[in-house]
A and B are shown apart, each in its own frame.
Chain A
Amino acid sequence: MTAIDITLTVNGETMTTRAEPRMLASDFLREKLGLTGTHVGCEHGVCGACTIKLNGVTARSCLLFAGQLDGAEVTTVEGLGSPRRMHRIQEAFRKHHALQCGFCTPGFLMTVSEILETEELRTDDDIRDALSGNLCRCTGYEHIVRAVRELVNERDGVTA
């Protein structure tokens, strides 16, 4: 199968890159575009480590083909913030020690960036439910929930 031209916008920048249409979007972002923030865990849509935003909403990049990114607008964790200029969500994760090895973190950050806008997240159970598509083998989730709780309180103007 021959490569095709794939034109897409990634983190605000429009680019054209050649790839086989069957290449997984997660591999395409990492190997063709050098955006290694998106992590590849299970490659069958279970672990959530490869979560990106596709046209504004979260998607598993291991369940997308590179060919499907043609014409799309993608945000990866690199589009959220950088070590020097962290996104508020990243700051909350650092403050609350919401990561240990960090492998799952990019996926969590992308999911949190969506659910803060779409979900009420009134209780910690709601937060756990909304994060249930992202697996973490280190933290036991407790500190991730604390970080998200702080972000939700901030969003809702609640002083904890």
Chain B
Amino acid sequence: MKPASFEYLRPGTVDEAIAALDHEDAKIIAGGQSLVPMMNFRLVQPERLVDINGIADLGQVTAVDGGVRIGALVRHAQAARDTMLGTAFPIIGEAMRHVAHVAIRNRGTIGGSLSHADPSAEWPLLVSLLDGAIEITGKSGVRTCGTEEFFFSPLMTDLEEDELLTGVVLPSLPDGAGMAFDEVSQRAGDFAVVACGAVVAMDGPCIGSARLALGGLGDTPLRATEVEVALTGATLDDIAGIVADCAVDLEPNDDMHASAGYRRSLAPVLARRVLIRAAERAKGKT
């Protein structure tokens, strides 16, 4: 239960961090809330640990053209109480309450959660739902990547070993959009068995447009694109019918936390719940 030896570096800038990654077995540590347990169990034994906690630039939430940029080092607790995020994306505060426990929310970061790529974690689902652009910095500069290209499978992403996830840009939503997040877990703070997020804009009594993201049902967070299309023009009474089969073709994990069948049956329940809540919130705004 003690980590193996490593060389410990604390770069002060992104450039220094990228330079420090020029090594055959280097690993970045941000909040460390997933990495350190893996190091304590010696499932991961990097020769070099690059601690980015000293790079103050990465810890900011900033307004950018067309949206909000969240630096990779923004902690879950910080995101939950950030006023700019609270105004533009209240779903973030709603979701952060489900991220583990107080002490872990104080330390864990958005960049770490995305890089760790747990398919039932909250940030991967939120960034997928909100069409976020993941900003990746490497030796040759900055590139951006959508969640569809970024997430491969649990722990596997498009990040190269010498690249650093530096932030996420969330594009602004239309003024009248309502959003909602919910999940089922065995105990408060446990990993979600299934998680759902929705964004809904109303067009009179009908749904003008809707987005639905599902977590815990596959190797990556999933967007229910067929459901999204079917919801356009539907009424709130139609929602239950439209989402009823949203998980029948999915093959979620069958493990000690929940059976695949239970996960499949939870999905439409949570989907209906978040879509209706998001629609009610959208109505409240208009």
Contacts and interface: CB of A to CB of B under 8 A. Distances in A.
A57 to B, nearest CB: 4
B33 interface: yes
9 contacts: A21-B49, A44-B36, A44-B41, A48-B101, A48-B103, A51-B103, A65-B3, A130-B102, A133-B100
B256 to A, nearest CB: 15
A45 B36 contact: yes
A43 B42 CA distance: 12
B107 A63 contact: yes
A44 B100 CA distance: 13
Interface residues of B, number: 29
Interface of B: 1-8, 10, 32-33, 36-37, 40-41, 49, 51, 53, 77, 100-104, 106-107, 187-189
A26 to B, nearest CB: 10
Given A44-B41, A64-B32, A68-B53, A111 B103 contact: yes
Nearest to A118: B102
A22 B3 CA distance: 7
A74 B274 CA distance: 40
Interface of A: 1, 4, 20-22, 24, 27, 43-45, 48, 51, 54, 57-60, 62-65, 67-68, 70, 111, 114-115, 118, 128-130, 132-134
Contacts of A65: 3, 8, 32, 36, 49
A20 to B, nearest CB: 7
Contacts of B104: 45, 60, 133
Contacts of A130: 102
B102 A44 contact: no
Contacts of B189: 132-133
B37 A132 contact: no
B36 A64 contact: yes
Which 7 pairs of residues, A with B, have the shortest CB-CB distance?
A133-B101, A21-B8, A44-B37, A1-B5, A58-B103, A132-B188, A63-B36
B51 A67 contact: yes
B8 A22 contact: yes
Contacts of A63: 32-33, 36-37, 107
Nearest to B3: A22
B51 A68 contact: yes
B102 A133 contact: yes
Contacts of B2: 22, 24, 27
**What is the interface of chain A mostly: helix, strand, loop, or mixed?**
mixed
A64 to B, nearest CB: 7
Nearest to A130: B102
B102 A114 contact: yes
A65 B4 CA distance: 12
B100 to A, nearest CB: 7
Contacts of B7: 1
Contact of B77 (A57, A60, A68, A133): A57
Contact of A132 (B3, B8, B187): B187
A70 B9 CA distance: 12
Given A63-B36, A67-B8, A68-B51, A44 B103 contact: no
A24 B8 CA distance: 13
A22 B33 contact: no
Given A27-B2, A68-B53, 6 more contacts: A22-B6, A22-B8, A45-B104, A58-B103, A64-B36, A65-B3
A34 B206 CA distance: 65
Contacts of B10: 67, 70
Contacts of B36: 44-45, 62-65
Contacts of B102: 58, 111, 114-115, 118, 130, 133
A128 B227 CA distance: 37
A17 to B, nearest CB: 16
Q: Pick the most buried of B5, B10, B103: most chain A CB atoms within 10 A of its CB.
A: B103
A27 to B, nearest CB: 8
B106 A59 contact: yes
A59 B5 contact: no
